[in-house]
Amino acid sequence: MSAEARLASPPNDRPAKRARIESTPAGELKPYCETDVGITEYINPSAPGFSAIIKQRYTDFLVNEIDLEGNVVHLTELRQKEDKKPETEATSGEKKEEVVVKEAPKEEEKPKPIEEEKKDFEITPEGRAEMAALIGEECLEKVIQLVNTNGASAASGPVLTRADLDKDERTNVHQTTRKVFPGMFETEMIETGAIKFTLLKKKQRNQRGGDRSKPRVNRQVEQKTWEELGGEFCHFYLYKENKDTMECASILAKLLKISNKSIGFAGTKDRRGCTVQRFSIHRIKHERLQNLNKSLYGFKIGNFSYSPHQLALGQLKGNEFTITLRNVKAENVEQINTAMQTLKEQGFINYFGMQRFGTSSIGTHDAGILLLQSNWEAAVELILAERKFMRAESVEARRVWKETKDPAKALKLMPRNCVAEYAVLQAMVNTGNTRNYSAAFQAVPRNLRLLYVHSYQSYVWNLVVSERIKNFGLKPVVGDLVLVEEEKVEGKTQDVVDEEAPELETSTMHNNDAPVVSTVPKVKILTQEDVDSGKYTIHDIVLPTPGTEIQYPKNDTKQAYVDIMAKDSLNPFDMYRSVRELSLTGNYRKIVYRPSTVSWEIVKYSDGDKQLVRTDLDLLMNTNVEAGERGQDGAFTAIVVKLALGTSQYATMALREVLKMDTSSNFQAAMTAKGEDKLPVE
């Protein structure tokens, strides 16, 4: 059956879940399309759609993170301004402040050393007054004595300030010490809150500018404490192309020779696209980070700052998407504008997108069913099974496992980037037991283990929301649920994710071993009085994903959960499992979402292989789109769509409402291959 024919099949005609997993030969399976995972309804089904290609090029999909304050994150600099090399008058075209550095005398001009009687350090009256006001006369005398005895006086004990200094006072001590005793001391706050003075060795003083008799080309950067910088975490923006977030984090950790746990980020981003997001690294200064740019392939870092706090998953408001839809086929411009205006005013059904369910002929939710059934053997076999649309490099390993059940042989052939499969086989080899399926599955990284069961929750939610809209339409009804307020439920994990990067979205990630605190909010069940009041609209209605800590609707929608999960031998009212992480708490999700901003531009172009929108890196490097790529005389039409979404919304589902066509990757890949805007190869 063709992808188009399968898309057209009614949802009820699709095979039962268990039959798909156990009975259907893998070679006959087709990749999932939208109707297979419950994506069937539209806000305005009567409005005509139009065809277009999504993500023909990775530069057609730009994602910029939105921080908690609502600021859109853009990469605007690769080096901090004070670290940039000063331009000369000739290159800059304007006069710069002169920086005079005396040259070292030539070898024959160097004066001969003269033996001099050692003199005590002379502090200026102004310097003495400033330091005494900050640390007191007694402490100041000890500091001066350290210099005059070349540190010998430290034998009687360290030189410490009083412990009750506030942050501003400590900052003043650090700064004034560097001014009055240039390059002589390292000052640091100890656990008591006092500041400790450590006299630097002469070699260190020269490096820090203490010995001014020797020439130094670069005197502009003096060492600052973490407190003076703003905190122990260096925050920066990461721009990447065709790479996923975890891959970039691993590369940085390797180059810096640090643990992955030192790196934090607020959300994961889609691999296929150009994305910008915030990162944090513990106790690495920006000078070291910005110098990595020359070694980075596929991503760059910049816009450095400091904070006392690490970035953690969920610390973002959402994402701004700039999406180029290519090879648009519409009857006229009015049809496009009407569809986009409908999206802007009414929003879209808030389905979990196709990325949530994987791209092979066996979905991640298929494994989730087996895990919730505690069928460990079937789950492991499913993960290792042959299938269509899988990684080509894993085909032979899967075949060997199927024919021999020898984990060692299969492991030698399994690529490491097939993370779950590799982990399962490695566990079997390490234990020498091929029948302990539960232990083998527990070897899979936690983020992937959770991905399977969360994917099933999403699958059920999609099917239920379709039933809700078919039965009741786009208006609130008695028994519907609306959010009241959020409250923290300690000790439970919450699916804090960036929905456009599903392969990682359920993870607590490597940047924080502690589970994310659940925020399952309270809900209100609508009464007839609530409905009649007109206070609530379809944009207020929520539905839960199945779990232990949620409330189901008090109308016919509740029965939809029962009927849908019964087909998989599961019960929505029995979600506790002996394995704690599989006891899902559930959460609420709005059934219709209206983007905070929607805008669009219709453009003409002539070559489908040329990019139409400049990325952040293009703007930073002042790279222009080549002449002729966009223009009024182009033979093809594209729409550049910009919209802002929350962290739990899929941009592809917003586009689906406009296009009225399947957004699955395999369907889109087929359209791209047939694209008329591809120039013939000569």
- Identify the residue with better confidence: 218 or 508: 218
Is the pLDDT at 433 greater than 80? The verdict is yes
Residue 514 belongs to some domain of the structure: no
User: How far is residue 538's CA from residue 550's CA, in Å, rounded to a whole number?
Assistant: 20
Is the pLDDT at 119 greater than 70? The verdict is no
Pairing of strands 274-282, 61-66: parallel
Regarding whether 469 and 573 lie in a shared domain, the answer is: yes
Confidence at residue 205, expressed as pLDDT on a 0 to 100 scale: 61
In this structure, of 135-139, 213-217, 539-543, the range with the lowest mean pLDDT score is 213-217
Confidence at residue 88, expressed as pLDDT on a 0 to 100 scale: 40
Regarding whether 385 and 328 lie in a shared domain, the answer is: no
Regarding whether 578 and 452 lie in a shared domain, the answer is: yes
Confidence at residue 458, expressed as pLDDT on a 0 to 100 scale: 97
Confidence at residue 547, expressed as pLDDT on a 0 to 100 scale: 96
- Identify the residue with better confidence: 500 or 60: 60
- Identify the residue with better confidence: 556 or 18: 556
Please tell me which of 390-404, 479-493, 566-580, 668-682 the model is most confident about, judged by mean pLDDT.
566-580
What's the pLDDT band for 223 if we cut at 50, 70, 90?
Answer: low
User: How far is residue 200's CA from residue 185's CA, in Å, rounded to a whole number?
Assistant: 5
Please tell me which of 267-276, 484-493, 557-566 the model is most confident about, judged by mean pLDDT.
557-566
Confidence at residue 418, expressed as pLDDT on a 0 to 100 scale: 86
Regarding whether 552 and 464 lie in a shared domain, the answer is: yes
pLDDT, mean over the chain: 81
Residue that finishes a domain, picked among 554, 574, 590: 590
Is the pLDDT at 445 greater than 90? The verdict is no
Residue 323 identity (one-letter amino acid): I
Helices (H) and strands (E) in the chain, counts: 23, 20
User: How far is residue 136's CA from residue 666's CA, in Å, rounded to a whole number?
Assistant: 73
- Quote helix, strand, coil % in the chain, to nearest 5: 40, 15, 45
Residue that finishes a domain, picked among 543, 559, 590: 590
- DSSP for 37-61, written as a single string: GT----SSTTS---EEEE-SSGGGE
Confidence at residue 183, expressed as pLDDT on a 0 to 100 scale: 83
- Under 8 Å between Cβ of 663 and 653: yes
In this structure, of 1-5, 106-110, 618-622, the range with the lowest mean pLDDT score is 1-5
User: How far is residue 58's CA from residue 322's CA, in Å, rounded to a whole number?
Assistant: 12
Residue 170 belongs to what domain range? Answer: 124-180+184-221
Regarding whether 480 and 455 lie in a shared domain, the answer is: yes
Confidence at residue 654, expressed as pLDDT on a 0 to 100 scale: 96
Regarding whether 454 and 380 lie in a shared domain, the answer is: no
What's the pLDDT band for 509 if we cut at 50, 70, 90?
Answer: very low
Across the beta sheet with 195-199, the strand order is 159-160, 195-199, 185-189
Residue 364 belongs to some domain of the structure: yes
**Tens-digit pLDDT profile for residues 578-617:** 888 899 999 999 999 999 999 999 999 988 888 999 999 9
Regarding whether 467 and 333 lie in a shared domain, the answer is: no
Regarding whether 532 and 614 lie in a shared domain, the answer is: no
Is the pLDDT at 234 greater than 70? The verdict is yes
Residue 112 belongs to some domain of the structure: no
In this structure, of 5-9, 269-273, 360-364, 611-615, the range with the lowest mean pLDDT score is 5-9
Confidence at residue 271, expressed as pLDDT on a 0 to 100 scale: 84
633: annotated active-site residue: no
Residue 219 identity (one-letter amino acid): R
Residue 6 identity (one-letter amino acid): R
Residue that finishes a domain, picked among 533, 557, 590: 590
**Tens-digit pLDDT profile for residues 31-82:** 778 999 999 999 999 888 899 998 888 899 999 999 999 999 999 999 987 6
Regarding whether 632 and 606 lie in a shared domain, the answer is: yes
Q: Mean pLDDT across the stretch 291-295? A: 93
Residue 110 belongs to some domain of the structure: no
Domain of 480, CATH number, reads: 3.30.2350.20
Residue 309 belongs to some domain of the structure: no
Q: Mean pLDDT across the stretch 274-281? A: 97
**Tens-digit pLDDT profile for residues 348-371:** 999 999 988 887 668 899 999 999
Q: Mean pLDDT across the stretch 252-261? A: 91
Angle at 62 between CA 59 and CA 67, to 5 degrees: 155
Closest by CA position to 237, among listed 85, 81, 60, 79? 79
What's the pLDDT band for 544 if we cut at 50, 70, 90?
Answer: very high
In this structure, of 2-11, 252-261, 329-338, 463-472, the range with the lowest mean pLDDT score is 2-11
Q: Give the Å distances, CA to CA, from 566 to 40, 369, 459, 561, 573.
A: 20, 11, 14, 8, 11
**Tens-digit pLDDT profile for residues 294-308:** 999 999 999 999 999
Regarding whether 474 and 415 lie in a shared domain, the answer is: no
Confidence at residue 13, expressed as pLDDT on a 0 to 100 scale: 38
| Residue where the block lists tokens 């586009």 | 655
Regarding whether 540 and 456 lie in a shared domain, the answer is: yes
Regarding whether 436 and 549 lie in a shared domain, the answer is: no
Confidence at residue 494, expressed as pLDDT on a 0 to 100 scale: 40
Alpha-helical segments (H) within 328-363: 333-346
Residue 545 belongs to some domain of the structure: yes
- Under 8 Å between Cβ of 377 and 434: no
Is the pLDDT at 204 greater than 70? The verdict is no
Q: Mean pLDDT across the stretch 319-342? A: 94
What's the pLDDT band for 676 if we cut at 50, 70, 90?
Answer: low
Is the pLDDT at 680 greater than 50? The verdict is no
As a whole number of Å, the CA-based R_g of the chain is 31
- Under 8 Å between Cβ of 210 and 183: yes
Residue 282 belongs to some domain of the structure: no
- Looking at the structure of the chain, the number of domains it has is 4
Residue 281 belongs to some domain of the structure: no
Q: Using CA atoms in the order 406, 409, 412, 417, what is the torsion angle rounded to 10 degrees?
A: -30
235 has which bridge partners? 280, 305
- Which listed residue (244, 270, 495, 677) is catalytic? 270
What's the pLDDT band for 285 if we cut at 50, 70, 90?
Answer: very high
Confidence at residue 672, expressed as pLDDT on a 0 to 100 scale: 65
Domain of 359, CATH number, reads: 1.10.1510.30
Closest by CA position to 218, among listed 229, 227, 210, 207? 207
